[in-house]
């Protein structure tokens, strides 16, 4: 019989997703839970498994198509005898059970990565739905056997967040994909390297990061085998603009920023400080036996200073709950770190960052940064942040007025560190100077509270020993 798989709710009430790539084609035989498509939501990509074992008969949507939850995406022909078709009861509607049908005990269904697999075959008269006609990826309707009746599948929300990740993997079917690991495929996608042209030097021919980077040093080859250094296509003569659809992360980010900017009254305060003592501390930690092999940078120290300052200024770690008419006070710090990725701006967070020591916090930051670069940031890590940091200094920026991550009361922008003349012990000396910018929601944080919080962070960075007077 023919069974239709509809786009499931992939979590958090998202109403639409984009078909990034199909991993199967009509006529392919698939197993239960075999990955059949990459589907991109506003936050991440879900690797969609098959709820059936059978043969793909029709792809209802093309790659790049935005599909709403409940719309058909793929049809399967599955093994099993065709049950007898019941007569529709008078006045009945498609999908209603026959009133005369005997009640049957519910049978447990085996959960798959998304939704549930096909229910076990039952005796008796089945439930039916009206079938709506739709075109396959090529624009033509698939021809189902005359005796087959399509059965819709309405999976539930994602059963596990383990399948959610940022869209960076190639779209070719798993069987045809060159042997590599997800981080390597992510790196190749970001660098624009086609893995199918590489020969792996790793164990059993596995393609490694070094293979991908080495490919960049080689001249590119045209399809006919000749080498070419031609750049990417540019707009044609007279073309004054290029348009592209607003989708996925960019669409979600834009909506979130507009909602934040026009909902929370933003105020930004600035503080410029001499962080030479912090830079000396970082240099000293490099030779400290307890920190050998660890990469302690300025961002880790700022993050730790922020967590300590939150304990003294809890109003910055709150949320305005408009629906409940309440102010939510967080007693933990889920520290968001704004990350620029090829797909757009993401703000994954470090859970319970306030409970981590400097070394563990630095390790968590390194892991978060690597995941963002590799495109393996999970959707779970994008939820539940309580306060955020954005490091604009890595782009050579001194200061800014960051927009709050929706649902948070404050965000700290860390500016670049510059050597410049500064007053020191009554004289002028070249010092490491940095500007901090704190934006906060004025409904939750008064100017004085924001200033005290910012000064506490600055005090720690200007003289790390002062932390002894603050805890």
Closest CA to 404 of 383, 377, 386: 386
Q: Cβ–Cβ contacts within 10 Å for residue 265, how many?
A: 11
Cα(256)–Cα(12) distance, rounded to whole angstroms?
15
Query: DSSP assignment of 137-179, as one string?
Result: TTSS-----TT---EEE---SBS-GGGEE-S-S--S-GGGSPS
CB 50 within 8 A of CB 33: yes
- How far is CA 167 from its chain centroid? 8
Cα(140)–Cα(437) distance, rounded to whole angstroms?
56
Cα(436)–Cα(442) distance, rounded to whole angstroms?
18
What is the token pair recorded at 293?
């092999």
CB 58 within 8 A of CB 74: yes
Cα(100)–Cα(92) distance, rounded to whole angstroms?
12
What is the rounded radius of gyration, in angstroms, for the C-alpha atoms of the chain?
A: 28
Interstrand relation of 2-6 and 72-77 (parallel, antiparallel or unpaired) = antiparallel
Annotated catalytic residue within 127, 266, 332, 442: 442
CB 450 within 8 A of CB 267: yes
Q: What is the 3-state secondary structure (H, E, C) of 381-422?
A: HHCCCCEEEEEHHHHCCCCCCCCCCCCCCEEEEECCCEEEEE
Query: DSSP assignment of 245-309, as one string?
Result: ---HHHHHHHHHHHHHHHHS-EEEEEEEEE-HHHHHHHHHHHT-GGGTT----HHHHHHHHHHHH
Phi, psi of 5 (to 5 degrees): -100, 120
Active-site annotation holds for 442: yes
Q: What does the CA dihedral 6, 7, 11, 14 come to, rounded to 10 degrees?
A: -130
Closest CA to 18 of 59, 51, 50, 61: 61
What is the token pair recorded at 282?
């970082």
What is the token pair recorded at 312?
């003294």
Phi, psi of 196 (to 5 degrees): -70, -15
Burial of 193 (C-beta count, 10 Å sphere; 0-12/13-18/19+) = buried
Which are the catalytic amino acids?
442
């Amino acid at each position: 019989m023919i069974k239709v798989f509809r786009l499931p709710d992939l979590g958090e009430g998202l109403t639409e997703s984009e078909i990034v790539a199909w991993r199967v084609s009509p006529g392919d035989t698939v197993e239960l839970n075999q990955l059949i498509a990459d589907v991109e939501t506003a936050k991440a990509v879900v690797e969609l498994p098959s709820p059936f074992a059978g043969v793909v008969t029709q792809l209802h949507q093309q790659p790049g198509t935005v599909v709403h939850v409940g719309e058909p995406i793929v049809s399967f022909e599955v093994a099993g005898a065709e049950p007898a078709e019941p007569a529709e009861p008078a006045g009945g509607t498609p999908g209603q059970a026959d009133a005369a049908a005997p009640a049957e005990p519910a049978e447990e269904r085996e959960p798959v990565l998304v939704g549930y697999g096909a229910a076990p075959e039952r005796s008796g008269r089945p439930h039916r739905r009206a079938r709506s006609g739709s075109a396959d990826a090529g624009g033509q309707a698939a021809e189902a056997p005359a005796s087959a009746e399509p059965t819709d599948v309405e999976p539930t929300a994602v059963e596990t967040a383990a399948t959610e990740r940022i869209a960076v993997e190639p779209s070719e079917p798993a069987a045809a994909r060159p042997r590599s690991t997800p981080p390597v495929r992510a790196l190749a996608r970001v660098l624009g390297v086609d893995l199918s042209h590489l020969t792996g030097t790793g164990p059993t021919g596995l393609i490694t990061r070094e293979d991908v980077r080495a490919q960049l040093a080689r001249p590119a080859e045209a399809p006919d085998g000749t080498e070419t250094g031609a750049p990417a296509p540019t707009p044609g003569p007279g073309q004054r603009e290029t348009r592209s659809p607003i989708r996925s992360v960019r669409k979600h980010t834009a909506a979130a920023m507009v909602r934040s900017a026009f909902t929370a009254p933003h105020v930004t305060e600035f503080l410029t400080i001499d962080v030479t003592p912090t830079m000396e501390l970082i240099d000293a930690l490099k030779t400290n036996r307890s920190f050998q092999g660890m990469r302690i940078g300025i961002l880790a120290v700022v993050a730790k200073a922020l967590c300590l300052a939150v304990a003294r200024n809890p109003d910055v770690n709150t949320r305005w709950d408009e629906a409940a008419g309440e102010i939510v006070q967080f007693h933990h710090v889920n520290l968001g770190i704004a990350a620029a990725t090829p797909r757009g701006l993401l703000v994954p967070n470090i859970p319970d960052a306030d409970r981590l020591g400097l070394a563990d916090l630095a390790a968590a930051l390194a892991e978060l940064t690597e995941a963002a670069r590799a495109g393996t940031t999970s959707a779970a890590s994008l939820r539940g942040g309580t306060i955020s940091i954005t490091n604009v200094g890595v782009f050579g920026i001194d200061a800014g007025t960051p927009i709050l991550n929706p649902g948070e009361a404050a965000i700290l922008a860390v500016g670049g560190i510059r050597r410049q003349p500064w007053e020191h012990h009554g004289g002028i000396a070249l010092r490491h100077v940095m500007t901090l910018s704190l934006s906060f929601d004025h409904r939750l944080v008064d100017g004085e509270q924001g200033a005290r919080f910012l000064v506490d962070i600055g005090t720690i960075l200007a003289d790390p020993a002062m932390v002894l007077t603050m805890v």
